[in-house]
């Protein structure tokens, strides 16, 4: 993914994850792995945490301590 330098990386990654959820590429209960996001988008863990926090606030994912973040059921 090529990042737009005028926008925060976390916002651009969140947009991509939203798109994947909307299209069904990431179905309900799909694991949203922070480690995988770090590797795929080549960003720091802090950036990924901002992504998951934003998606959690929107109700798109649910985070279970010790288990991870998963796409919410609609």
Query: Closest by alpha carbon to 29, among 62, 52, 58, 65?
Result: 62
**Residues of the chain below pLDDT 70:** none
pLDDT score at 74: 79
**pTM of the complete model beyond 0.85:** yes
Distances (CA, A) of 57 to 14, 39, 40, 60: 12, 23, 23, 8
Q: Domains in the chain and their CATH numbers?
A: 9-71 (1.10.10.10)
Query: DSSP letters along 47-63, please?
Result: HHHHHHHHHHHTTSEEE
Residue 58: CA count within 13 A, CB half-sphere: 15
User: Which residues neighbour 29 within 8 Å (Cβ) at sequence distance 6 or greater?
Assistant: 70, 71, 73
């Amino acid at each position: 993914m090529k990042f737009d330098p005028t926008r925060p990386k976390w916002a651009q990654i969140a947009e991509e994850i939203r798109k994947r959820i909307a299209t069904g590429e990431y179905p309900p209960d799909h694991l949203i792995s922070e480690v995988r996001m770090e590797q795929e988008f080549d960003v720091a863990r802090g950036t990924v945490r901002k992504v998951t926090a934003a998606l959690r606030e929107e109700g798109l994912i649910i985070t279970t301590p010790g288990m991870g973040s998963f796409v919410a059921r609609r």
